[in-house]
Amino acid sequence: MLNTLISLYLTFLKIGTFAFGGGLAVLAMIEKEVVINQGWLTKSQYTELVSISEMTPGPIAINSATFVGAQIAGIPGAIAATAGVVSMSLLLMSVLAKLLMRYQKIPQVQSAFTCLRPAVAALVMCAGISMGMGTITELLPALLCAVSFVLVSHYKVNPILIILGGAVAGLTLM
């Protein structure tokens, strides 16, 4: 059990260390570590994990870590995985906040942040494509995906309504 807890902590410490851009940007990394490298979840279970993590309050990376940890080793696993995913963030944010306040006006610092944004956008797109390829295998889910995208991106519909609409569509149409 101790080895499992250490493995959960270290895996999510690694994920948390490279979670630039937030939880959505790190979904591809969580999938690689949890599904491919560790084999803790199947692709189908991972898709469910993302859905549950999106629907529950709080950051998706923390929700995901807690869910995986609980699945693997119960409450101690949830604590180990959650501690792992937040450890580096706590340390880095404390140090970076202090440094950014001091050096935020320097052009090189501003340039670094300007170049980080497209990289984070690419990570989010990769996670979305990966999830879509694993879950959108029929016409109705593909249509729901397209309609949901348009409603959120062009009409600014609340994502909660999209989630509820997806659940209703699944219950009534499939």
Residue 24 has pLDDT above 80, yes or no: no
Alpha helices, H only, 104-135: 107-135
The C-alpha atoms of residue 60 and residue 49 are separated, in whole angstroms, by 10
Tokens 């898709």 appear where? 47
* 156 within some domain: no
Neighbours of 46 (CB within 10 A): 22
pLDDT at site 153: 94
Q: Could you tell me the pLDDT band of residue 23, with boundaries at 50, 70 and 90?
A: low
The C-alpha atoms of residue 48 and residue 115 are separated, in whole angstroms, by 32
Write the pLDDT tens digit of every residue in 89-146: 899 889 988 988 898 889 998 898 889 889 888 988 888 888 888 778 889 888 999 9
pLDDT at site 79: 97
The DSSP output letter for 18 is T
Can you tell me whether residue 81 is helix, strand or coil?
Answer: helix
Residues 6+ apart with CB under 8 A from 100: 109
Which structural domain range is residue 60 located in? 2-105
pTM: 0.61
- How many Cα neighbours within 13 Å face the side chain of 37? 14
Give which of 19, 7, 72 is closest to 45, Cα–Cα: 72
pLDDT at site 91: 92
* 167 within some domain: no
* 19 within some domain: yes
Residue 20 has pLDDT above 80, yes or no: no
Residue 155 has pLDDT above 90, yes or no: yes
pLDDT at site 81: 97
pLDDT at site 110: 87
* 133 within some domain: no
Mean pLDDT, residues 44-67 taken together: 89
From residue 25, alpha-carbon distances to 14, 76, 171, 174 in Å are: 14, 26, 30, 30
* 26 within some domain: yes
Give the total number of structural domains in the chain. 1
Start-to-end Cα distance in the chain: 41
* 136 within some domain: no
Q: Could you tell me the pLDDT band of residue 21, with boundaries at 50, 70 and 90?
A: low
* 151 within some domain: no
Cβ proximity of 29 and 15 under 8 Å = yes
Q: What is the mean pLDDT of the chain?
A: 89
Tokens 């909660």 appear where? 160
* 27 within some domain: yes
